[in-house]
Amino acid sequence: MAKFTIKDIKGVIPALMTAFDEHEEVYEKGIRELVDHLMNEGVEGFYLTGSTGEGFLMNEAERKQVVEIVIDEVKGRVPVIVHVGAISTKISIELAEHAEKMGADAISSVPPFYWRFSPDHIYNYYKDISESVDIPMIVYNVPLAGIMGFDLIKRLASIEKVEGIKFTATSHHEISMIKKEVGQDFMIYSGADEMAVSGLINGADGIIGSFYNLMPEMFIKINELVKKDNVTEAMAVQKDAIDLIMYSVQKDYYSVMKVALKWMGVDAGYVRRPFINIQGQEEEALKEGFKALKKAGNIKDVKFLDAL
């Protein structure tokens, strides 16, 4: 049974990575270790089996397994959102029903993709999934699956259980527009790591992102500074985060984050093919690159850098 309402889901929420072992199997020990590490860092929720969680590289049974492990490890301490997106509405409903049964607090989904689905297709997709469960749906506006227009977002918000949106588009002026036209109770989560400050100052209720797995302390600090209206200092932290992100995305950045967590003693496992694991000389070169960034930018109080 869900323990939190949609209004409780706010703050800094990692889009949780999924740990795999060296044979590409779901790695329960690594998942639990990563969850505990992030809980100790002070994150305020988790977003499971999305893009960062390599959700589309898993079958339905594996996605359910990850949900079960994480919810068991969290033990109701923070809200859990489960991404149930699939091209097939039937599969998404199966994943949504399982998430609710396991005790998830909300579900989320990208719109159906690959084929050129119309606004009516997308509306029906979210309506059908939302009607299959009693927990809130958070729709997902993301370039990888196709950015939805403002009119479609408003239409989706009219569905009874659609109570929020993960907004990874860069048109952040729309965040305040959504709040104004849909209502202040409609929850908005900024999903662009590089634009966390922008999302928050435009009215986002929380931030959901990939790099919160690796450097949650930076984004927790950003969130706290914005709450105190100290935008100048928040932007300084954001700039350092952007430098680290831009360096990381030159490679398979899920692999970068997993190997960098290892430097701190957190076993987050491996990535699944076709992503490439960073090892050997490439790992040493990665370390040297991060050391150079730290020195050049005088970046302080970032734990994975301090572990080098």
| Model confidence pLDDT, tens digit, residues 56-73 | 999 999 999 999 999 999
Residue-wise pLDDT for 105-141, tens only, equals: 999 999 998 888 899 999 999 999 999 999 999 999 8
**204, part of any domain:** yes
What's the number of domains the chain is made of?
A: 1
pLDDT recorded at residue 141: 82
Which residues are marked as active site? Answer: 140, 166
Residues lower than pLDDT 70 in the chain = 142-147
pLDDT recorded at residue 143: 58
Q: Which domain holds residue 69?
A: 6-228
pTM of the model: 0.96
Q: Are 5 and 200 in contact (CB under 8 A)?
A: no
**112, part of any domain:** yes
**252, part of any domain:** no
pLDDT recorded at residue 285: 97
pLDDT recorded at residue 90: 98
CATH of the domain at 209: 3.20.20.70
**268, part of any domain:** no
DSSP 48-116: ESSTTTTGGGS-HHHHHHHHHHHHHHHTTSS-EEEE---SSHHHHHHHHHHHHHHT-SEEEEPPP-SS-
**144, part of any domain:** yes
- Calculate what percentage of the chain has a pLDDT beyond 70: 98
Q: Are 95 and 50 in contact (CB under 8 A)?
A: no
Non-local (6+) Cβ contacts of 164 within 8 A are 6, 9, 106, 136, 137, 138, 139, 186, 187, 188, 189, 205
pLDDT recorded at residue 144: 59
Question: Largest Cα–Cα distance in the chain?
Answer: 53
